[in-house]
Amino acid sequence: MVDRKKPREKNFWDKPVPDNVRHKDLSVKGVKTAKAKARAAGRPYPNMVDNITAARAGLTKGKSK
């Protein structure tokens, strides 16, 4: 039997950023949330996944376009 798996989709960090997306810094609350997630996972500082999770929760500075 032939195993025909669907080609794996790229992770979001491997895809190019769309032109209509602007960079936004994390708010103070977002930084604290990311640091807390890192501590809970046993890391001394937040990694990209912690920062992205905080950003997706809407904890960024400024208005989104």
- In the predicted structure, residue 9 carries a pLDDT above the cut 90: no
**Does residue 48 belong to any structural domain of this protein?**
yes
35 belongs to a structural domain: yes
pLDDT of residue 32 exceeding 80, the answer is: yes
Q: What is the pTM of this model?
A: 0.65
Number of compact structural domains in the chain: 1
44 is a domain residue = yes
Which residues have CB under 8 Å from 29's CB, separation 6+? 59
Supply the pLDDT for residue 65: 45
- The pLDDT value given to residue 18: 82
| φ and ψ of 19, to 5 deg | -65, -30
In a domain, 19, yes or no: no
Q: Which of 32, 28, 9, 24 is nearest to 56 (CA)?
A: 24
